Structure formats: structure tokens, C-alpha cells
Structure 1
Amino acid sequence: MDEPDTAAILPDDEVSTSGSAGQKEEADVPTTRSVRPPFTCPLPVSVEPVLFLSMFSLALQAPLSTQYLWDRISEDLGYNGSKGSGCSNGSVPPDPLQKEVETLTAHWNLYISLGGFSVGLLVVPLLGSWSDLAGRRPVLILPNLGLALQAVVYLVVMYLKLPVIYFLVGRLLSGLSGDFNAILAGCFSYVADTSDRRSRTFRVAVLEACLGLSGMLASVIGGQWRRAQGYINPFWLVLATNLASALYAYLFVRESVFPDPSVPLFSSRHYKAVWHLFSTGGSSSEGSGRCKLWLYMLCFFLVVTVHFGSRELYVLYELSSPLCWGPALIGYGSAAQHLAYLTSLLGLKIMQRCLADSWVALVGLASNVTGLVVFSVADTTQLMFTGYGLCFLFMAATPVLRSKLSKLVDPSEQGALFASVACVESLCFLVGSGLFNSLYPATLHFMKGFPFLFAAFILFIPAGIIGTLQCLDQRRGHRDPTAS
């Protein structure tokens, strides 16, 4: 073992622990070497600022791009949006043009998402598995540069009033660099490299809380800024934030694995590593390990598909009748949604004192289901914000699932695992965008909030799987008290 290099990548509290914890604790933290960046960050953080800045950029541009599509399509069709009486007065029959604008906006969201995420579905597992050998830092830098290039394309479209199909070009360029999912894969792999089994769930939850905090700030800023100055200036901040994230990763983030510069990026071995993981269940899996890996990955797929699929509909749902929200309210709503990342982190920390991780995940799913049911019938601003309030623990499930997946495999397999998770997450974007953006216009005529109700029903599947696996584990533990 190369103890000095291993300690160089760990936080100070984990360094002191690893020296006295014993053989079992040391096996939980992979032996790696540190590649020093040009500068040392004085704060006790590692990849958290990278994820914070990248998520800030994504959360700032996502609702703005949807609103831009709405405004451009409304302008092309001659619809005056929420200024019309059909939006301000619920007794007036819906404007046929409004329904056409909603449908076209949902479809363009679908096309843009399908284009970007379908490319990312091939690139993300390649980059994630490659980072296990070549290092994490390139996977933190390259996708941010791709997202910056996407922002440049969006700015050109807005300055020159080009057709909205050019948004698709920007998404494809971002997808070719790995998109935001590659950044997620790199950050979560980094945390798995530098944490032990006991602290991993909370460390993962801290990363997800960074997602929420940055998303909340971006949502509030984006709504107010768009109302005051339009779309172009906020997208300049999107560009600057992505460049700042890439620069921070280059200057301050230490490498968490020993990089092999001779490893080629374009190689089938990276895909084979992912396939081997799921065909064998991981080196540390015993008996039902492969089954658990597949079941937890299915739960993760369903939960994240619901998160991303329903999230894309919130802005459309709030823009149109009967809510007719403006940019400020849309920003507050998005901020309330992202605030749940922080409340979920606090709730997870508290519940872990008396509940197993699986029960924490079930509480989070119950919070999500109740919020979605309220969204499905929300026809006033107060009811919509009630739904956001009920979702205050909805992000407690995903860090538990990531941690459980990580604990099923050896430390040497973390890169392949999180490449798989990144691949599934890309598929979640793809399926969620396709399903919910298609379902929303198809169900407008009988129940506008039906997609949210449908999402709530889907969440009962992972809840049943997680609860069943936990009960089986507890029964097995009662039979064999020495089982870990």
C-alpha cells in the first residue's frame, strides 16, 4: 500500500480515522495516489463546488429555455400568452392557440431532450468507466466545457433569432462531451473513492444537497432576472458558470485514482467493464448480490425517471391556465422544489439515528407521492405551493439507493458502477422526457394533472421493492446474528 498518497486525497477527519480504525476499516477505502492540481483549495471541500456550479448553470437555463420556447412559438403562432382572457378568467373556454402552444413547446422539449440524452447515453458510460483508469479530473472538466459550448449556441440562437431547431444542435454538442450526467458520475465516483462505508450515504446526500442549494439560488435569480432583462443576460451567466466549474476542477481538485495516461478513451473495454459488473453482480456480491444490484438499479431508474419526467412539466403546468404564473412565481416554485434537497439532507441525517437507510428511503418516497397527488389537482397558487411543501423529503431516496449500490461492489469496481449509474441516469432523462412530454399533451382534454398522478403510482413499485428487500435482510439477520 502507498499510505502517504492514499491519505493525501482524504479529508483530514478521515485520515486520522483510517490510521487507527483497523484492517476492516482500511479495506473500505481504496488505495489510490494523488495527482496534485496547480493550487490547493483552502476549504475542506473536494468536488462539491464542481457539482454546485454545474447544477447552478443547469437550473438557471432549464426553465428559461422552456419559457423561451414558449415565447418564440407563441410569437410565431400569434398567441399573446397569459395576457389573454383565457388565462386570467377560468370561466372562459380555453384558447385553442394556447393548447397548440403547449403541445408544440412540450414536443420541442421532447426533441431537444431526446437528442441530447440519446447521445449522452452512449458517451456517459464510456467516460465514466474510462475515468476509473485515466482519472476523475478529465470527466469533471470536459463535460463542463461541452455545457459551455451549448450555452454559446443558445446565445447565438437568441441574438440572431434563429429557428428553435438550433437548440437541438447545442444539446447534441453537450451530449457528445458527456453532458451533466458525466459530471454527476465523476463526482459520485470521487466520493466513493474517498469515503468509507459508514459515511458514504451522508456524503452522497451532501452532494445531492449541493444540487438543491445551487438549483434554488439559480431558480430565484433566473425568474427575477428574466423578467427584468430578458433571456440573453442570464445565459451569459450560464456560460461563465460552466467555465468556472471546469477551471475549478483543473486548478483545485486532486486526482482520486492513479491515472494511466496510456489508457485509450475509445475502447470497448470500458463498455465490457460495465457489462461484467452486471453479469457477475460484482466481486464482493454473495448469493443474491446480482439480484440486489439489478433490483436497486430498477428502483433508481423508476425514482429518477419520475423526478426528471415530472420536473419538465412543472413550468408548462404553471405557465398555462388556470395558474398562469409569471417568471417570478415560476422561479419561486422551482426554488421551493430545490429547497427539498436541503430538507431531505437534514431529514436523512435525523432519521438515520433511529431508522435503517431503507426505511429512510421509504419515507422519502411517501413524501414524493403525496406531493405529486396534490400537484395533479392543483388549480390555485396556494395548492401548488402546498404540493411543493409536501415534497420536502422527496430526495431522501436517491442517496440511499446510490449508497446501497456502491456498497454491493468492491472499491476497485466503483468506476464501473457509477458509469452504469450514469448510463441509467441518462436513460432516465431519455425515458422521462419522452414519456411525460408525450403524456402531457395527450391528457390535456380530460385531466391536465394526470401525468403527476401517473408518476405517483409509479413510485409504489420502488417502494415495494425496497421494503421487501429490507424485510428479507432483517429476517436473514435474525436467523444469523453474526451476519453483517
Structure 2
Amino acid sequence: MGCCRQVTVEPVLFLFITSLMMQIPVTQLLLLHKVCLEEHDDSICEELGNYPQLENQVQSKTSHWILKLNLAMNIPGAIMCTILGAASDKFGRRTIIAFPLIGACVASINFMINSFYTDLPIRYMLISSFALGICGGMGTCQVALVSYITDITDSSNRTKRFGMLESMVFLGGTIGLLLAGSIAQKISIPAVYACCFLLNLTAVGYVMAILPESLSTKQRLSSKLEDAMAKRRGWMSGFGFSVLENMRKTFTVCFVERENKKRKWLLLLQVIAMLHMLALSGDMELTVLYTKHTPLSWSTFTIAVYMALRNIARAAALLITMPLLFHFKSQRTQDNDFNLTIVGLASNMSGYIMIAMAKSTAVMMLVPVVSSLAGIAGAVLGSLRSKLVEPDEMGAMFAFGSLLETMCHLIGSVIFNNLYPATLDFMPGFSFLIVAALIGIIMCIVIYFKWDYEDTILFPKVISNGEQTDNLLTYVDSDEEVELYDLKSSEG
């Protein structure tokens, strides 16, 4: 019962990610089929693996269309996220959460029409991407959900709640991929999109009818009062002022002077998030194409099983392994959290190296086990980021991070959707080695972050009464303030 009382926005993310992960592989396969039908008949498209040269040409063109869909979604999505993320600090989280869900409903309907009528021009599929982007997209949804969790938790249990929320990505991804594979194979692709529409509609209903608002009326009035006072000092009023003020707050939140080295650490965490999105974009864009290519030549169902196994393993690590570590580690320290992050990154990097080198299905099916700890790093670093800003800056800070990540997703799409076709002839998995290298760079930054954090917070040198004394860390609940005790160095 205690766990049920803790459930708030987790079902929203679960439903949204389930629908999104149902759409991603099916949409890529639909694109692949529509691109092939533009120049070849259906008999060739059904046996494309038997024509290696044609297969490379179709995959290259499909890769470029995937890039166009991402641009149509992420450019408006980035703009709307900067506005809606900061707006959630003033108007509440619930309304902002509903926006991307409505966009996802519209996107599902348009994709369903395009899958019914495969002879429709491919450019009509851009309508779905634009609808999702103009309503905020995944970035705004994530910003509002993470800000909601931050509002309702204190620092003592925030990391665990972030872990629970992150696990919904993997659980939703698992079920979404399995549903997509089975429904597409046993019923039809339009049925997949119809299911996505119903899932997002259910999420909208849950948000509007059941989910309580996380920000109190007092908190929202305080933010609005600040806007009103700023408005009186300026020349602009009304909606235009609100939009510009939200954007200003979003773009400046990470550059405000803060105590100790919080600004530096916040910027380091943003760099880590950007690099992670670059790596993730390569994974998202290429996994379906790579596994459809020879020598793997997987079916839709096999792709769904692989992705589901990977998500199940990561969800288990977040829901079981991480809470167990927190339970048995009675004296948790931020140092231990950093070590756990490094282990998670090493697990992730090893998985991508295996993908790049894989020549058989057996090797690929070991990747979910090897990379199972990858999700822990995101949960720990996300929790740490939320502790470096004030409560009324949460939406703006996460919105700024989401904007940077969206830009990196676009850059990653451009890079990987051009790199993959260029390297198909000599090494189809080369792009995944680049992804692994990006994870390696993140690991180096985290190691430096750990050293700098310990040097500044955990083991500072204090000059007292003309004598140097060492502050020794005796106990840390990493989600609470660090307790330090000054022990004077004894004379020899």
C-alpha cells in the first residue's frame, strides 16, 4: 500500500513511453517500406535482404527521412520546451504535462492514416512529427514530470523516486516494443497506431481527472507576483511578456552565481546530459536499421524482443538492484553514488562495443545483460542536478537541459544518419563504436566531477587558529547535507 500511495506521475510516463516505443520501430519500418515502394514493386520490398545493393540504397534514403522527421519534431519541440518548462513554475505542472500527450494523440492519428494508405507521399508523415513537437514533445513531458517529482519529494528520498520514474521509461519501452512487434505481426501496423492513440488518451484522462497539482497556490501566486513586478518595470505586457520572461529564465538559470561550485557542477551535468543525448540519438536512429541489415537480418518480432529484453534488464536494475543497494548501505555517501554512476556508464559502454562487433543473434542477445546497469547513472545524476537549484527554478533548469538535449538529438541525427550510410560497406556497426566513445567521455567527466566534489565538499582544508585542520567525513546521507567534523591534527 505504501508503494501505491507514492505513485503520482509514473503512470503518465509509463503510458507515454509505451506509446512512443510502439511507434518508433513501426514508424521506421513503415518508412523503409514506403521508401522502397517509391522505386520498386512489393515483391522486391518483401525480400529486400536478397538484394544487397538495393538494400543499402533504400536504407540510406530511409535514414535521411528519419532525420527529416526528427527535425520536424525537435525544432518546434525545443522552442516550446523553453516556454512551457519555465511556465510550469508559474501555472503548475499538470496542464503542461497534458500538452505533449494531446500532441501524441494527433500524431498517432496521422501515422495511422499514412499506414492505411501506403501510397500517400512520405512527406505527409511529417505532420505527426510537427504535431508532437509544437505541443512540447518528449522534452516538455520529461521536464514537467521530473519537476513534479522534485516538488513532492525532499532530498532524503529524491534519488529513489527519480529511479522509480526512470524505470517507467524501461518498463514502458519493454511493453511498448513487445506490443508493437506482436500487434504489427498478428494484426496490422495501423492497429499499432490505434493502440498508441488510446494509450495517450488514457494518459490525458489520468492527468486531468486524477493527478493532483504539485505546486501549491501560494507557490504559483509567488511566481506570478514576481512576473507582475517585473512587468511593471518593463514596456511589454500580457502574453508576450510571459513568453519572453519564461525564455529569459530558461536561458539564464544555469549561469546564475551560486554558492561553492554549484554553477560549475550544474554546467558539467548539462554537458554530460548533452553528450548522453548525442549517444542516445545514435542508438535510437540506427538500432532498427542495423538489426535489419545483414548479417543479422532480424524480423520485426526479433527486434521487439531484443529491445524489450534490454529494457527489462535496465528496469530491474532501477527497481530492484538500486533500492537494495540503498537499503543495505546504511551509510550512503555521495562518493558511493558517483561510483555507482561510473559502473553504470561502464556497463553501457560495454554494451555498445558488443553491438558494434556483433555478427550473430546470440552475441546481440547478451547485450541486455551486459548493459543492464546503464539506467542507474541517469537516475543518480538527475537527482543531483535537482539539488543544485532553488525550488522555483526547477522547471526552467530542466527546460534548459531539455533544450540542449533536443539540440544534441538533432545534431546526433544529422551525424549518425549520414555516418551510418557512409560506413555500411566496410563496417555497419562503426556508428556504435562512436556511441561507445561518447559514453567513455562522459565517464571521464564524472570521474573529474567526483574528484572536484570531494575536494570541495567532502574533504576541504580549514585554517583554524593559525593551524591547519582536516575535515573528515564521518557520515553522509547523500540526499541530506553533509555532516563534517573538524578534527585538529595532533602534533607529532
Q: Which residue of 1 aligns with 2:148?
A: 190
Q: Which residue of 2 aligns with 1:60?
A: 22
- Distance between the aligned counterparts of 1:106 and 1:135, measured in 2? 39
Q: Which residue of 2 aligns with 1:274?
A: 250
CA contact (8 A) 1:340 1:394 kept: no
- Distance between the aligned counterparts of 1:338 and 1:312, measured in 2? 17
Q: Which residue of 1 aligns with 2:91?
A: 134
- Distance between the aligned counterparts of 2:46 and 2:406, measured in 1? 37
Q: Which residue of 2 aligns with 1:478?
A: 459
Query: Which residue type is aligned with residue 318 of structure 1?
Result: T
- Distance between the aligned counterparts of 1:381 and 1:179, measured in 2? 34
- Distance between the aligned counterparts of 2:182 and 2:114, measured in 1? 22
1:250 aligns with 2:183: no
Q: Post-superposition, which runs of at least 4 consecutive aligned residues in structure 1 deviate over 3 A?
A: 79-84, 259-266
- Distance between the aligned counterparts of 2:325 and 2:421, measured in 1? 39
Q: Which residue of 2 aligns with 1:207?
A: 165
Partner of residue 293 from structure 1, selected from 257, 266, 273:
266
Partner of residue 469 from structure 1, selected from 442, 449, 454:
449
| 5+ long unaligned stretches in structure 2 | 228-237, 462-470, 474-481, 483-492
Q: Which residue of 2 aligns with 1:223?
A: 181
Considering only CA atoms, is the larger Rg found in Structure 1 or Structure 2?
Answer: 2
Distance 1:423 1:340, change over 3 A: farther
CA contact (8 A) 1:341 1:395 kept: yes
Could you give the per-residue CA deviations for residues 332-367 of structure 1, whole angstroms, max 9, x where no partner exists?
Answer: 011022223313303333444366211111111100
Measure how far apart 1:482 and its partner are. Answer: 7.2
Partner of residue 361 from structure 1, selected from 341, 344, 351:
341
Q: CA RMSD in A?
A: 2.2
- Distance between the aligned counterparts of 1:81 and 1:325, measured in 2? 17
Scaled by the length of structure 1, what TM-score is found? 0.85
Number of aligned positions between the proteins = 437
Partner of residue 368 from structure 2, selected from 380, 384, 388:
388
1:169 aligns with 2:127: yes
| 5+ long unaligned stretches in structure 1 | 1-10, 14-41, 89-93
Query: Residue 321 of structure 1: SS of its match in structure 2?
Result: coil
CA contact (8 A) 1:130 1:265 kept: no
Q: Which residue of 2 aligns with 1:72?
A: 34
Query: Residue 408 of structure 1: SS of its match in structure 2?
Result: coil
CA contact (8 A) 2:178 2:304 kept: yes
Distance 1:335 1:154, change over 3 A: same
Measure how far apart 1:443 and its partner are. Answer: 1.1
Query: Which residue type is aligned with residue 59 of structure 2?
Result: E
Q: Which residue of 1 aligns with 2:485?
A: none
- Distance between the aligned counterparts of 1:136 and 1:175, measured in 2? 18
Q: Which residue of 1 aligns with 2:233?
A: none
- Distance between the aligned counterparts of 2:380 and 2:275, measured in 1? 14
Partner of residue 411 from structure 2, selected from 418, 431, 440:
431
Q: Which residue of 1 aligns with 2:290?
A: 317
Partner of residue 102 from structure 1, selected from 50, 56, 59:
59
Query: Which residue type is aligned with residue 112 of structure 1?
Result: L
Could you give the per-residue CA deviations for residues 308-346 of structure 1, whole angstroms, max 9, x where no partner exists?
Answer: 321221110111211111111011011022223313303
Distance 1:430 1:103, change over 3 A: same
Query: Which residue type is aligned with residue 206 of structure 2?
Result: Y
CA contact (8 A) 1:77 1:97 kept: no
1:47 aligns with 2:4: no
Scaled by the length of structure 2, what TM-score is found? 0.84
Partner of residue 315 from structure 2, selected from 342, 345, 350:
342
CA contact (8 A) 2:354 2:364 kept: yes
CA contact (8 A) 2:113 2:190 kept: no
Query: Residue 445 of structure 1: SS of its match in structure 2?
Result: coil
Query: Residue 396 of structure 1: SS of its match in structure 2?
Result: helix
Query: Which residue type is aligned with residue 98 of structure 1?
Result: E
1:151 aligns with 2:131: no
